[in-house]
């Protein structure tokens, strides 16, 4: 990640949105942070999880599943806008019509896929940040170790590996997923 606006005037979420397509970035307390494109495995795993969760969410009319380009405003003055790899907003929290701005608040579920240039600490801290700002669950998916760690408020992280099934996530009630499906290649 590269900080663009360090030491300069802080940028607001509205100013970031008005910049248009400037590439992958987040706004970290007023500072624009650019991110390199994700690698192939990261994209493969994030897409697969998004599809598996999205199919379940849509089939059960639970809300919407969103991709990595979706920004969420977690704090104001200075503004904090983050974008998970996959997210879910439950039906009762959806806007009444089109929302052409960043979503106000955290999604109910976030999924962060670890990239080769990420440290586990950075990604775990980001998951904890999501939960601290209102997400029900934040998943950290590590393609190298083929594990998923779920963070929730007031609980120790829960770890799942290849032989396990993810289940009973309060953000997507009834969802069950074999961890092996996340990392399976065709």
Tell me the C-alpha distance between 174 and 181, whole Å: 17
Tell me the C-alpha distance between 33 and 25, whole Å: 5
Tokens in use for 141?
């998916």
| pLDDT at residue number 7 | 55
Over the stretch 44-87, which tens digit does the pLDDT of each residue have? 999 999 999 999 999 999 999 999 989 999 999 999 999 999 99
| pLDDT at residue number 3 | 46
Tokens in use for 12?
């607001």
Domains in the chain: boundaries: 39-183
Q: Is the pLDDT of residue 118 over 80?
A: yes
> What are the contacts of 97-102 at 24+ separation with CB within 8 A?
101/13, 101/14, 101/17, 102/13, 102/17, 102/70, 102/71, 102/72, 102/73
Q: Which of 20-24, 98-102, 116-120 has the highest mean pLDDT?
A: 98-102
Over the stretch 120-132, which tens digit does the pLDDT of each residue have? 899 999 999 999 9
| pLDDT at residue number 157 | 96
pTM to 2 decimals? 0.92
Pick the CATH number of 39-183 from 3.40.50.80, 3.40.50.11890, 3.40.50.720, 3.90.1570.10: 3.90.1570.10
157 prior amide bond cis, ω within 30: no
| pLDDT at residue number 8 | 67
């Amino acid at each position: 990640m590269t900080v663009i606006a360090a030491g300069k005037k802080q940028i607001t979420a509205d100013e970031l949105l008005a910049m248009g397509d400037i590439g992958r970035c987040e706004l970290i307390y007023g500072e624009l942070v650019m991110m390199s494109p994700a690698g192939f495995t990261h994209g493969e795993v994030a897409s697969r999880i998004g599809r598996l969760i999205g199919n379940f969410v849509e089939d059960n009319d639970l809300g919407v599943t969103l991709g990595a380009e979706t920004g969420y405003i977690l704090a104001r003055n200075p503004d904090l806008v983050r974008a998970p790899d996959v997210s879910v907003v439950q039906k009762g929290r959806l806007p009444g019509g089109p929302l052409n701005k960043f979503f106000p608040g955290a999604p109910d579920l976030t999924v962060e896929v670890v990239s080769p240039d990420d440290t586990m600490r950075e990604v775990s801290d980001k998951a904890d940040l999501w939960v601290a700002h209102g997400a029900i669950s934040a998943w950290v998916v590590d393609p190298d170790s083929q594990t998923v760690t779920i963070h929730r408020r007031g609980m120790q992280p829960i770890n799942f590996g290849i032989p396990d099934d993810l289940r009973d996530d309060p953000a997507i009630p009834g969802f069950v997923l074999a961890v092996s499906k996340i990392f399976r290649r065709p």
